[in-house]
Amino acid sequence: MQISRRHCLLWGAGLASGSLLGACATPSSTKTVSSMGFFQQQLGKARITALSDGIGRRPLDAGFVKNAPLAQVQAALAAANLPTTHIDVPYTCFVVELDGKRYLLDTGFADNGAAGTGHLHQHMRAAGIDPANIDAVIISHMHGDHINGLRRKDGSLVYPKAKVHIPQDEAAFWLDDARMLALPESGRGGFQNARRVFKGYPRELIQLFKSGEDIAPGISTLAAFGHSPGHTAIRVQSGSERFTFIGDAAHLPVLFVKNPDWQVQFDMNPEQARITRHALLARLAADKDWVGGYHFPLPAIGQLQKSGAGYEWVPRK
Ligand SMILES: [Zn+2]
């Protein structure tokens, strides 16, 4: 089989065989798109590493984009040379290394997810980052795919020494028992999952923050509510360079960066999410930030260019 760069990116997400890994290694001094499931770049004095936890495949149905006809969604996928019968959803975490500390942005699944996920640590090690050395985890929001990697199925903590920074509006919403109990059993999944992860979590490790506050010098946060009640973007600045992790403010870039009006089925307040997406993408395009998202495919770091009613996300080469 011929090994193309595309194969490397697809199969690098934790599915690669040893021979593929060997065949795809692409050494580079400052940045690396690799078969090993990561991409790394310097940002001033900081180093940003995008790391795949894996990929989840879902059938494409009319409900995936709430407010666009299926044919238009299929056309957008086809225009990006992607299949139109299903969607491969990447799960991409980031590690920010700054001032001697390592911050993990969102967590993947650890061993709680479907086949094809749970590869974050393998990819961290390939990138030269020891998972045991993560000093802090910053959470964009408390949907399961973003927090499950904090605690394994057996209940053990994945980062027993790391501080966990959580937007206070997210914690207030998901950990509100009265709100959960007011819902029918069928609507409680997200609430119960938040309890699976955080019930009994050592209180001294949890740091709630108000969206908009700084986490550390050079690491700030931006309220980006709508996808979930306290959804928050995380911005890293070093020198004149900036990188912003937008979490799920825009889901798959070929659909939702390109068409900021489109609402993914997981947007909890779809109209607020739509307005937030427009405002955030406009700001990051104007500021020429490097931009990454949780459901962006590797390299998962790129820049935004205005295009029609939306933006083109141009991955870093
Ligand atoms: Zn998500």
For the chain, give the mean pLDDT.
90
Measured CA to CA, the distance from residue 196 to residue 174 in angstroms comes to 12
Are 149 and 156 within 8 A, CB to CB?
Answer: no
The distance from CA 14 to its chain's CA centroid, rounded to whole angstroms, is: 16
Measured CA to CA, the distance from residue 29 to residue 280 in angstroms comes to 32
Ion ligand 1 — residues with CB < 5 Å? 145, 248
Distance 227 CA to ligand 1 centre (A): 9
Domain that holds residue 88: 5-315
What are the φ/ψ torsions at residue 210 (nearest 5 degrees)? -85, 130
Query: What is the layout of strands, in order, in the sheet containing 136-138?
Result: 32-33, 38-43, 46-59, 86-98, 101-105, 136-138, 163-167, 206-209
Q: Six-digit token pair at 50? A: 């995008």
Distance 22 CA to ligand 1 centre (A): 31
- How many separate domains does the chain show? 1
Distance 32 CA to ligand 1 centre (A): 25
pLDDT 10s digits, 35-73: 689 999 999 999 999 999 999 999 999 999 999 999 999
Residues of the chain with pLDDT under 70: 1-35
CATH number of the domain that residue 126 is part of: 3.60.15.10
Measured CA to CA, the distance from residue 146 to residue 40 in angstroms comes to 21
Q: Six-digit token pair at 138? A: 């910053």
pTM: 0.89
pLDDT of residue 34: 53
Q: How many CA atoms lie within 13 A of 40 on its CB side?
A: 23
